[in-house]
Amino acid sequence: MSKSTKQITLVSRPHKSVRTSVSLPAELHETLESMAKEKKVSVAWVIRDAAEKYVNEQWPLLQQERI
């Protein structure tokens, strides 16, 4: 994988995790629960995965700075 296509993985640093709380529309939460059940992971995992992907897409230069 070339340096410019590497993805940062924030989940691999549990010692630097921060707990947060969000309110979600019921329908979105139900969808997240279904996704989590299908993948056999927690809803928190699905949300962390989505957040990482969002950050990587929105701020690609941030990836290069952290590598």
| Three-state secondary structure string covering 19-40 | CCCCCCCHHHHHHHHHHHHHHC
Element (H, E) at 50: helix 43-58
Q: What tokens appear for 64 in the block?
A: 């290069």
Mean pLDDT of 17-31: 95
* 26 — pLDDT class (breaks 50, 70, 90): very high
What does pLDDT average to over the chain? 82
Report residue 2 as tokens.
């070339």
User: 32, 47 in Cβ contact below 8 A?
Assistant: yes
Estimate to the nearest angstrom the gap between the alpha carbon of 20 and the chain centroid.
13
- Residue 33's pLDDT is what? 98
